[in-house]
Amino acid sequence: MGAKFDQEKFDQFILENGIIGFFKDPLKLKSGRFSHWYVNWRTVAEDAYLLDQLTDFVIAFIKSKKLNPDTFYGVPEGASKLGVLTQYKWAKSQKKFARGSHVLAMGRGKAKDHGAPKDKHFLAMPKGDTIVLEDVTSTGMSLFATLDTLQNLHIPILAGLALTNRNQVDDAGKSVEQLMKERGLPYFAISNALTLLPKLCAAKKATPGICASIEKEFAKYGTEPIKL
């Protein structure tokens, strides 16, 4: 966990584990848009060994940004395991680690319709300066819904952090980074589509037709055009 963050190694981790790839036929995303490419961190989240490696990358990245959170909190439910394991490893590495020093925060995928606020939305509520973890951001709907919940409960947000940014804008033409800035919050992405997709196409992991379709997708929805 003391290793420095290495962007090239992290991108290679993504490519080697098939986290990003292509659809022969476009599929509908959570945002409602159709796309020929995907980012799916589920394979890593289901594997204890890979998730252990991933949390080390996350902690190294956070250290490289000189951030010092009290709590890592994963967006329910996609980043819940990532949040819990990252927080556990982070807490154990702190000099002040002791009984009651750190919470293992975890949110509910669906809020309970009764009980205290901390029980409605959480299995364990974040405490102190919190970094909100998300696996993938496109238009950021899940991330912003989580931030709304936390901020309504006056939980201080240190930053939002995505494992991968799809580098796309919402229907108003705003990126996740822009929307976070409007909230007065920092946003970081450990990897991004503008770097990863060209590497895949260069390795001939997709047909020229699919690569051309992705270029059109970025011309319409991208934070900037992409050349594949």
Q: For 34-50, what is the mean pLDDT?
A: 95
Residue type, position 184, single letter: G
Specify the pTM.
0.94
1 pLDDT more than 60: no
- Burial (0-12, 13-18, 19+ Cβ within 10 Å), 56: middle
Residue 67 CB neighbour total at 10 angstroms: 15
**137-151 pLDDT tens trace:** 999 999 999 999 999
Contact 61, 186 (CB under 8 A): no
Contact by Cβ (8 Å): 132, 157: yes
Rounded to whole angstroms, how far apart are CA atoms 12 and 200? 11
pLDDT of residue 117: 66
Q: What pLDDT was estimated at residue 201?
A: 87
Encoded amino acid at 128, one letter? G
The larger pLDDT score, comparing residue 228 to residue 10, is at 10
- pLDDT tens column, 173-182: 999 999 999 9
Tens-digit pLDDT profile for residues 84-133: 999 999 999 999 999 999 999 999 988 887 777 677 888 889 999 999 99
Bridge partners for 9 per DSSP: none
Q: Within 13 Å and on the Cβ side, how many CA atoms surround 176? A: 27
Q: Are 157 and 151 in contact (CB under 8 A)?
A: yes
Three-class SS state of 6: coil
Q: Stretch 63-90: mean pLDDT, rounded?
A: 96
CA distance 141 to 145: 6
